[in-house]
Chain A
């Protein structure tokens, strides 16, 4: 088969860069679904919200999008904590998480998307920054900065999260609450508070992921829905709650999507992640590195 090596190498590189970004996008769901067992399908909507906030401050005031997201972190954290509180009081406490919790998040996803349509319209939006445009060239490989920078930022955030979860007390409490809530209570730590903090962090990551997204590609409100499948596919494939697994799965998905888009056309790309998801659920729901 006559493959252009140039094309192949670049597709794989692009896939790896994309994968790094996907890992950051999924990190939040890794926490909310992997550790807290909350199916927050509205997570991509929060990411898109992050994108639009980055867009707004970038276009209006010329602030760098990543900087906007860092400033937005505490607000998103508060939003996440508030959403969890509502979720807990309405559903978790009553033991009705499954049906109604899902419907709740679906409603949130929907409301967020439609609100963004009403405020910003359906046109694609993009941001402007110094690193959007130029590329690095290493041999045959092109490294567009608009993908490299988000990938590096994503990996930084991802590493920070991993350190947080393994080294700090609250981080370890979060891991504990996913495994044994009772034991945590016996240690006089309020599991509800821990879960609220965890969910807040989960949504905070969406702020950063959103900014990175709009650097990589133009965004419009329904883009979030493409990411639902990707995010849960990576989460499940990587093994729920396993951060290293999430990273590997994200890279894998990124590469496969990139190869598909390059050799078969971009319109097939959404089917890749969702197809991955279905196959994983059907045949290996514990994921690659599952518990």
Chain B
């Protein structure tokens, strides 16, 4: 794990340095979105891919992170890293709570409950005047920020934070995957009844998964108001978050940490390109079609396809 962590941090540092050298604002904005999706897809996959429990309400956990930032900002503007921590706590608790209420049921009921949660939360936020309600909330983003004498562009700062989050998310996912916990997750995905009979405390493990998954989604959402400047419920709870957090891991491959990364980079980049060249509705349509196609044809995603080819190649 230590070696992998060092490698990822090094790659992250190189990306950061490279971006700084190129220094094109639009690229920062576009890459921020992709990095955000890396976190969301990885977070979704911890519960969805590893445990087999589908969460349709990723937008809710993401939005909770965003709105907790707005809420705190109105009281006192804390630095963004602390807001990220707050987002993690709020969404983590929400993940735990939701899990506690619904994880005793079948997987399909859990999935429906996540949908319900997203709508209930959106309704609550729309009716909550303090955070702007349906009119939305403005957050003024400072131009720059100073660290120990060095001044950087604020958008570069946000980009760096999201990059760090992505690195942490990937390291966490990979660590879990290779640990006893990840082993336990796999048994729940494979056969929950047999897992229980073998002594796996399935409820406890599932709660860990929903909490971690929710927390990371909240962390991804916390800097969002600063990034976008004007937060509306329809954008925070937007459908693209729900569909992308599912499509990216499913297209990339759900059984390993690489899948969400691949899916996020490919789909995220494609969507950035499509939104600019075609329309955003068409680009969402393509995502949806790809999801359906992949789920039918390549259930193990791109990673699964590659693994299949390598196996076929090795057979004499």
Contact = CB atoms under 8 A, between A and B. Distances in A.
Determine direct contact between A and B, CB below 8 Å.
Answer: yes
A277 B57 CA distance: 14
Interface string A248-291: 00000000000000000001101100110110011001000000
B296 A86 contact: yes
Interface residues of B, number: 42
Nearest to A276: B116
Given A271-B120, A281-B109, A90 B295 contact: yes
B291 to A, nearest CB: 4
A252 B119 CA distance: 20
A151 interface: no
Interface stretch (B70-78, B121-129, B141-149): B121-129
A232 B243 contact: no
A110 interface: yes
Interface stretch (B155-163, B223-231, B277-285): B277-285
B132 interface: no
A229 to B, nearest CB: 5
Given A229-B119, A268-B123, A271-B119, A107 B295 contact: yes
Contacts of B119: 225-226, 229, 270-271, 274
Contacts of B102: 278, 281-282
Interface string B283-304: 0110111011001100100000
Interface in A190-223: 222
Contacts of B250: 100, 103
Contacts of A114: 281, 284-285, 288
Interface residues of A, number: 41
B112 A107 contact: no
Interface of A: 37, 39, 41, 86, 90, 94, 96, 98-100, 102-104, 106-108, 110-111, 114-115, 117-118, 222, 225-226, 228-229, 232-233, 236, 267-268, 270-271, 274-275, 277-278, 281-282, 285
Identify the 5 closest CB pairs spanning chains A and B, nearest first: A107-B292, A271-B123, A110-B288, A274-B116, A107-B291
Given A107-B292, A281-B109, 15 more contacts: A39-B111, A98-B107, A107-B295, A110-B287, A111-B289, A114-B288, A115-B285, A118-B285, A233-B116, A236-B112, A267-B134, A268-B123, A270-B122, A271-B120, A281-B116
13 contacts: A37-B108, A99-B48, A99-B54, A102-B111, A104-B295, A111-B289, A118-B282, A222-B239, A232-B112, A236-B109, A274-B119, A278-B113, A281-B105
